[in-house]
Structure 1
């Protein structure tokens, strides 16, 4: 399912948003692959709209807090204008995750993100498998942004059918679907709880 939205300005209809629903369609498959983690729910659209309205995002152009940064980042990797999978989607998905979980550049990023994901979404029955996938996710992003990744020629996969091309695309699709599923589950939990933001505090108690 795709979502299209347009606004009317000066008597002209201007398309504003065209979102793909492919990540929602794949989320249950990803969850099943990891033993039902993270949990993916079916939430009535009414509750989703009420939750979003409570955030008072309105017509803001620039995100002002972590939740808005996460939601605005999601618009980029769900925008159907960039149809198909490409490595830049990984960057936007990680931007959404780190914004949602309040990860700063001063944190030990992967460790902090894992800890907060498990706190928010609960523990998984397959911790080694999930940890490995998160590491793989970040390794892919690192190779891309630092120029170490092998890049396919734009449009090249339309003309050739080779195993290495299929492997390249399948890995990218697998990682994008995994990261997007984490975001979907994280936001769904906020909607169900009626929460507008989430904070994490590290404490120590001596007894």
Structure 2
């Protein structure tokens, strides 16, 4: 792993201690996982202690800068030093693919993805694996993890600034218990709305800087609350409000922001989107400034909304979500009876 320091310095006094606390004495649920696959038993063990030690050290290296004091010598060079974390994968039994080199790496990578979600839903921004890679001893090629925690970190920082949706730190044990109840394992295709929303977060963590991330966000939100693709925004607002326990004013605010986000999605999917050059240099063309800023703000709002909704489910211990529509009618006889009473 490289570049373990946060990209955002905001509220470091609140956030950094909770990140360090999360990785302090990591519980068994985050150190060991066992999988059963097609006749093989696969166990994965990860020693996270070097990460906990490195996070404490790096925090002390950047603390002087945050407190407007002179930093220690070569502090930047020390921050860029990679950290190696030892993992052991044991495969028992046999199947048609277990002899391939990628087989144990796959299960380690799967566990790392799960830990990324657990950590960042518990303490947003606590697990940034964007620069992480997996390599076997003496192996020339490595598997890049590429999971950025920026959206989680930015969302929690915005929340501490008073922005909505509000993200927060959740007890590590509660999040681990919730994930265990989901029983996702190594599943490669999502089957439930919650699984689809979690997989969307993983896709966004790989690359959340493009316009198609807006489409991913709507897919995750619609899947989470079981609205149909292309259904009105009002239905999405109504169901999200039920999960988040929103009052009328908050629902109006949510409706406004979601419609703005939906306009971006429609322009991209149906045409009308002014496609920027892939180089995306706002320094060369200042017209790109407003475009990128609006896209970032709306995309971050959508990501925070998705994360906040998942955190609400965790707090309520909900692992399955279903909405039932009701038909309310008034008969002719009932209406006539009401008139006779007046």
TM-score grouping bracket, smaller chain normalisation: 0.7 to 0.9
- Larger RCO: Structure 1 or Structure 2 (Cα < 8 Å, ≥ 6 residues apart)? 1
Residue number in structure 1 paired with 2:186 = 59
Q: Which residue of 2 aligns with 1:116?
A: 239
Correspondent of 2:145 among 17, 27, 32: 17
Structure 1 residue 26: deviation in Å?
2.3
Structure 1-normalised TM-score? Answer: 0.84
Task: State the partner residue of 1:187.
Answer: 310
Match of 1:170 in 2: 293
Q: For 2:260, which of 118, 136, 156 is the aligned residue?
A: 136
**Are the structure 2 counterparts of residues 47 and 127 from structure 1 closer, same or farther at C-alpha, using a change threshold of 3 Å?**
closer
- The residue number in structure 2 matching 1:40 is 167
Indicate whether 1:155 and 2:279 are aligned. yes
Q: Distance in 2 between matches of 1:75 and 1:27?
A: 16
Compute the TM-score of the two structures, normalised by the length of structure 2: 0.53
Q: Equivalents in 1 of 2:185, 2:134: separation in Å?
A: 14
CA–CA separation in structure 2 for the residues paired with 1:6 and 1:145: 34
**Structure 1 portions without partners, runs of 5+:** none
Question: Following superposition of structure 1 onto structure 2, how do residues 50-129 of structure 1 map, counting pairs within 5 Å?
Answer: 50-79=177-206, 82=207, 85-105=209-229, 108-124=231-247, 125-129=249-253
Which protein is bigger by CA-based radius of gyration? 2
Quote the residue 1:146 is aligned against: 270
Q: Distance in 2 between matches of 1:168 and 1:36?
A: 21
Change in CA separation of 1:205 and 1:32 when aligned onto 2, cut-off 3 Å: farther
C-alpha separation between the residues in 2 aligned to 1:145 and 1:157? Answer: 24
1:112-148, CA deviations, whole angstroms, 9 ceiling, x for partnerless residues? Answer: 1011011111224344333211100101000001121
C-alpha displacement at 1:22, in angstroms?
1.5
Please report how far the alpha carbon of residue 171 of structure 1 lies from its aligned counterpart in structure 2 after TM superposition: 0.7
Q: Is the 8 A contact 1:30 1:181 kept in 2?
A: no
Higher mean displacement: 130-139 or 38-47: 38-47
5+ residue gaps, structure 2: 1-124, 331-342
Runs of 4+ in structure 1 off by over 4 angstroms are 5-13, 29-33, 204-207
1:77·1:89 contact (CA, 8 Å) conserved in 2?
yes
Q: For residues 115 and 150 of structure 1, what CA distance do their matches in structure 2 show?
A: 31
> Is 2:327 the counterpart of 1:200?
no
* Alignment: residue pair count: 201
Write the deviation string for residues 64-103 of structure 1: whole angstroms up to 9, x where unpaired.
Answer: 1211111111111111xx3x62101111111111111111
Q: How well do the aligned residues superpose, as a CA RMSD in angstroms?
A: 2.7
Once residues 145 and 172 of structure 2 are traced to their aligned partners in structure 1, the CA distance between those partners, rounded to angstroms, is: 18
